[in-house]
Structure 1
């Protein structure tokens, strides 16, 4: 190993506070390298990554060491400074489509054959949000995939591997394929037709014809929280605690709202207990959930944390459930910016996406924030949503202009209004999975219009490049042919700009990003069962085009998708 790489890892490790005992490499039967396919600072901000690290390390028969993308050097684990190839299982936690190319780079740099069929060992596993909603673009490169939430199934995987260690690889994979929530791609032979749908689908026993998503029924049985404290992360002053999981809002563009259903919450007493634990380390508590303000007892939680002198932050807020106790607590915790997501530029379009917000919700939230001294406002929007027109963009400009004027007229002349704009990316297992992404030139023109209209009024505009979003869209709804496009980009150096020039079987990134599926085709990810029927998504697709809303899921009423009844 290069001395600069060793020096970097040792410095990172010295600055960490491990909340779990660190086991020596090779001291237990099953050694797992958990890899985040991006830089250390991003990986250590990911609570799902830390949750799996915690679960494996609670076992007596296994250990988990972390690894990340270190540009210019092969990945080695933080705890043992060992190469990945020396571990039994190399497990990738994949959250973002643009990290797919990093997964290939990490395997290549570690001298691990990229294609699963060419590997003897170690076993390469993949999990995380991106793996759950569509594992196909990475399926030739991994041995098995965890579909859904991993905290319980990881124990079954370790058991199966331990009991069959030393057996032929095929035997181990057949055992793993029998675990609910484990997908072994090589046991599925899939081909596609000219419409992009599945034409050929053959399953080899003992694999199931559909792989059912795993989800945790009782969140209170787990401590989903920070396992390693480090100053080298976006949340360096925070101890992260998950207070809820899943979302029942039925926003039609949002993959997380469907792949992490059923909505679940942790007990108030459990959260307060873990917050007290976090305060021993002098850290601000970061409350994590799909919409923290939707937590049923958020007022009590905010008041309790404030009373105990525990400062806290939140991962997300909903303007329609934001109330004074939460804002008071955030203000006392030093919050300077209120962040909410109207998502769509007009009320018509918010009805299409089933956002459930109005302009009044947003304005009332801003007024409350200013009442508690929170002067800066950040609003998230998506452009290029299905049925969007120039009128929707104009309505967005008009509303933002009024927001800025209202901030100034109310005496808030120093507060910043920031707008973050991202192109719409269609995702599998959403009612919008059949739509293609809007053409890049159209999106670029909309961005020019927004920037030229908003910046002169003192509104800061942040945005993601439509060309980068195009790559994300291609990978999000890709198939096994897309995997070969990834492979070719990797061979050409792995730079994102290479996607524009790579073709596979007459198809390129633009084809995959902008293609639209007919409602009757078999989609490339349909052998994954997330618990919701296709008919449900079709119905929501049709309701969207009519501008009809769908009610929010609650614990009291379950008559929308009916997944809770299963």
Structure 2
């Protein structure tokens, strides 16, 4: 092992406070290397990664160690400084499509065959948001995928592995494929049409034709919070606690609102208890959820925090569910920036995407921030949304200038208005999954227009490159053939932007990113069942084209998608 890498990893470990209790084993445990295919600093902010780490180590027959991408070095685990090849199972936690090449690099650098068909051990599994939406681009490289939330299913997987220890990989996979929520690509055949489109999925028994997404009904049965405290992360002063999971807002561009439905909230008393624990550690509480301001008892929680002198921060807010109590609590906790997401440039376009907020909601939030001394405002927008026109961009510019003027006229005149602009990427399992991404050249023109009109007004513009977004769109919408492109680029050095130079059977990055599917097409991810019917998505797509909205989910009435009744 390289001494520089050893020194770096030992230093990282020394600075950690690991809240997983140590244990002794009566027999040889199942050894799992849990890998986040990006930098340590990013991985240690990921609650899903830490939650599975906790679950693996909660068992008396398994031991989980963490590994990350250290550029220029082969992968070893933090806890034991062992190579990945010495573990029984390698589990990748994948949140972003742009980490796919990192996965291949990690396996290759560890001396592990990339293709599942050429590998007997260790067994490689993968899970996480990107995997749940569409695992196909990685299917030749991974032995099995976890579709959905992993806290329950990881135990079923480890039980199955323990019961069949010593058997061949093919035998173990035959047992694992029978676990609900587990997808084993080797049991599925994809048939393509003359134009390269997916025509049919065939499943080999005992594999099910559809893989049903797993989801945790009772969040309070599991603890999803910071497990390893480290100063080497962006949130070094925070103890992260998951407040809720899922979202019922029905925003038509957002995967989380569909793939993590049903909306679920943790008990107030449990959150308060864990927040007090965090305060004892001297940490600010970071509340994590799809929309923290939507938490049913958010004002009660903030008042309890104030009573106990607990400082807190939030991962996300909705302009239409902000309260004075919440804003005052954030201000008292030292918040300097209020972040909200109008998403679309006009009310017409917000109706198309079903965002459910108005300009008045945003302006009210800006005024509340001023009242309670939060000086800076950050607004998130998406450009290239379906049906977007130049008029929508014009309205966006006019509104942002209005926000800047309001700030300049009040106590926030020295505050910074930041606008973060991201190209729209059509995602699987959303009503826009059939639509192709807008051309990068057109998107770049819109960004230049925003810059030329907003920068002179003192508005800060951040944006993601449309060219990079195009690659992300291709990977998120890809079929198994795109794996051939990934493999080729990996062998040539691993630069994702190089994907644009290659094609497989006529399929290019542009093909995957911009193609439009007929509504009756077999989609590359059709073998995944997230609990919502294709008919439901088609209905929402048609409503979007007509500019009609869908009301949000509520606990007392369920008549929108009917997933709660299943």
Per-residue deviation at 1:196?
5.3
Corresponding position of 1:495: 495
Per-residue deviation at 1:23?
5.7
SS state at 2:505 partner: coil
CA distance in 1, matches of 2:504, 2:538: 30
Corresponding position of 1:34: 34
TM-score normalized by structure 2? 0.99
SS state at 2:461 partner: strand
Corresponding position of 1:240: 240
Per-residue deviation at 1:25?
10
Per-residue deviation at 1:7?
0.4
Corresponding position of 2:399: 399
- Whether the aligned pair in 2 keeps the contact of 1:16 and 1:229 (CA below 8 Å) is yes
Corresponding position of 1:157: 157
Range 172-181 or range 489-498, more displaced: 489-498
- Whether the aligned pair in 2 keeps the contact of 1:255 and 1:430 (CA below 8 Å) is yes
1:229 aligns with 2:234: no
Q: Structure 1 unaligned runs (5+)? A: none
SS state at 1:442 partner: helix
CA distance in 1, matches of 2:138, 2:242: 28
CA distance in 2, matches of 1:411, 1:323: 20
CA distance in 2, matches of 1:23, 1:516: 53
- Whether the aligned pair in 1 keeps the contact of 2:370 and 2:411 (CA below 8 Å) is no
Corresponding position of 2:361: 361
SS state at 2:362 partner: helix
Per-residue deviation at 1:504?
1.0
- Whether the aligned pair in 1 keeps the contact of 2:201 and 2:527 (CA below 8 Å) is no
Q: Structure 2 unaligned runs (5+)? A: none
- Whether the aligned pair in 2 keeps the contact of 1:146 and 1:182 (CA below 8 Å) is yes
Per-residue deviation at 1:236?
0.4
Per-residue deviation at 1:436?
0.4
CA distance in 1, matches of 2:80, 2:27: 12
Corresponding position of 2:352: 352
Cα deviations by residue, 1:29-80 (Å, 9 ceiling, x for unpaired): 2000000000000000000000000011000000110000000001100000
Corresponding position of 1:251: 251
- Whether the aligned pair in 2 keeps the contact of 1:435 and 1:515 (CA below 8 Å) is yes
- Whether the aligned pair in 2 keeps the contact of 1:188 and 1:203 (CA below 8 Å) is yes
RMSD: 1.1
Cα deviations by residue, 1:510-535 (Å, 9 ceiling, x for unpaired): 11111110101010100000000000
CA distance in 2, matches of 1:143, 1:291: 34
Corresponding position of 1:204: 204
What aligned pairs does 1:43-122 form with structure 2 within 5 A after superposition?
A: 43-122=43-122
TM-score normalized by structure 1? 0.99
CA distance in 1, matches of 2:546, 2:195: 26
What aligned pairs does 1:126-525 form with structure 2 within 5 A after superposition?
A: 126-194=126-194, 197-525=197-525
CA distance in 1, matches of 2:506, 2:24: 50
SS state at 1:392 partner: helix
CA distance in 2, matches of 1:191, 1:490: 26
SS state at 1:480 partner: coil
SS state at 2:349 partner: helix
- Whether the aligned pair in 1 keeps the contact of 2:243 and 2:271 (CA below 8 Å) is yes
Going from structure 1 to structure 2, the CA distance change for 1:23 and 1:115 (only over 3 Å counts) comes to farther
CA distance in 2, matches of 1:98, 1:23: 36
Corresponding position of 1:6: 6
CA distance in 2, matches of 1:225, 1:107: 28
CA distance in 2, matches of 1:182, 1:127: 10
Cα deviations by residue, 1:352-410 (Å, 9 ceiling, x for unpaired): 00000100000000100111000100000000000000000000000000000010012
CA distance in 2, matches of 1:377, 1:528: 39
SS state at 1:474 partner: helix
CA distance in 1, matches of 2:220, 2:390: 47
